[in-house]
Amino acid sequence: MSTGISKDLLTVILAGGRGERLYPLTKSRSKPAVPFGGIYRIIDFTLSNCLNSGLRRIKVLCQYMSHSLDRHLKEGWNVFCRELGEYIDSVTPQQQFSEGWYRGTADALYQNIYLLDQLRPRYVLILSGDHIYRMDYAEMIKFHLEMRAELTVATVQVETSLAANQLGVLQVEPDGRIVDFEEKPALPKPSPFNPDQALVNMGIYIFDTEILVRNVVADAKKDTRHDFGRDIIPAMIPSFRCYAYNFADESGGDILYWRDIGTIENYYQASMDLLSHNPRFNLYDPEWPIRTYMGQYPPAKLIRAEPAPGKKGHLGRARNSIISPGCIIDGAEVSNCVLSPGVHIGPDALVEDSIIMDNTNIGGNCKVRRAVIDKQAKIDPGKTVGYNPEQDSRHFMLSESGLVLIPKGFELS
């Protein structure tokens, strides 16, 4: 991205979501601070996109349970030089216009309109802090300028069933101009590019600043949900130059990977997507590194369990899994799992199809299947998780598909 454009643009990341559909992972943290992919937090993917796109003026609008997120930003993202006009700042609600929290995505911008007045950017890029994808925002900004757009909305095609009641759905003209927008319709209209899919809103917007200010101020005076998808965009379509930027591979037109992981089911599926032999979202691409904060952990270790007298002891094995630093697999078998740093799994345990977060201890002879286990949990030797829904439901929440959800610090003894 040219230096001139990057200096004219402010990036604002909306990171205040309560994340009720990700409970209990959001019991003690905001949704963007939820761990993902072993060593990362969800917000790391949006921030890495910014860094790799050359965007270095970033405001993160925090709100609900912001301590964990704020600490992560300070520890893992203190990489810019403020003397050169570079920064990542976390901004909590200032309550200049309201004594309450943000009432919607548009209200979050309205409540922080003083930032736009202070910084005077020509353009504002608005991002969500809870999606998994890889995008060069410079290409979208180029499109915005070429189309002389006043608002550009990033869009992607998904299966119609995934869009129903969950995502904003757009209709566009051949040149990309938006002619219709419905927020989370029960029956999404088909994409103009593929009748079997819907063209959906990615929650990524570029506004001319003057247009953004005018519309959020006007919306603040109305009795609305104060939301970009429900209120701002539909109101702008008739009178402003609103365009859709199609998120696809320019060389072949292939749909690129994007996941809104706002539900436990989507979070789990996106985690499992990382484990395929050729994942559509590749953590190992050296040309697009994903940055995060990493604690001081030793290397991961797979070892043979201490043998009983006269026996060899089983060798620790991991298959088709992400094993983070500090993990010890002690004579256990791990399959199709994502293990965060410091996980310890004891002798003869079997752990399958699960997400295990930092410093969790699973005792010997345990059997764990299709579980999402938050940090610092402890499962005593011989316990079984994920095999008996009736028994599991006495201790834990179960998702719609039967995933066992074990909260942070829980001890199963």
Report which secondary-structure segment, H or E, holds 372.
strand 371-373
pLDDT digits (tens, 9 = 90+) for 139-171: 999 999 999 999 999 999 999 988 999 899 999
Q: How far lies 331's CA from each of 303, 307, 346, 378, 382, in Å?
A: 6, 9, 7, 18, 14
DSSP 277: S
Task: Report strand pairing: 123-128 vs 9-14.
Answer: parallel
Q: Is the pLDDT of residue 405 over 60?
A: yes
CATH of 3-273, one of 3.40.190.10, 3.90.550.10, 3.30.70.1090, 3.40.50.300: 3.90.550.10
* Tens-place pLDDT, residues 266-310: 999 999 999 988 888 989 999 999 999 989 999 999 998 877 666
Tokens of 380: 């005593």
Looking at residue 2, its pLDDT comes to 46
- pLDDT over threshold 60, residue 251: no
Model confidence at 93, in pLDDT bands (50, 70, 90)? Answer: confident
Using an 8 Å Cβ cutoff, are 183 and 229 in contact? yes
- The position carrying tokens 């995505």 is 105
Per-domain residue ranges of the chain:
3-273, 301-412
pLDDT band for 4, please (50, 70, 90 cuts): low
Paired with 365 in beta bridges are none
Across 24-46, average pLDDT: 94
pLDDT at 3: 44
Within 8 A by CB and 6+ apart from 345, the residues are 316, 327, 328, 329, 330, 332, 334, 351, 362, 366
**Residue tagged 């600490």 (tokens):** 71
The DSSP string of 217-248 is: HHHHTSSS---IIIIIHHHHTTTS-EEEEE-B
According to CATH, the topology of domain 301-412 is UDP N-Acetylglucosamine Acyltransferase; domain 1 (2.160.10)
Confidence band, pLDDT 50/70/90 cuts, at residue 80:
confident
Contacts of 382 by beta carbon, 8 Å cutoff, 6+ apart: 363, 364, 365, 366
User: What mean pLDDT is predicted for residues 99-111?
Assistant: 82
**Distance, CA of 322 to chain centre:** 18
Say if residue 362 is exposed, middle or buried (CB neighbours under 10 Å; 0-12, 13-18, 19+): buried
In this predicted structure, what is the pLDDT of residue 103?
Answer: 78
From the list 60, 77, 66, 79, the residue with the least C-alpha distance to 12 is 60
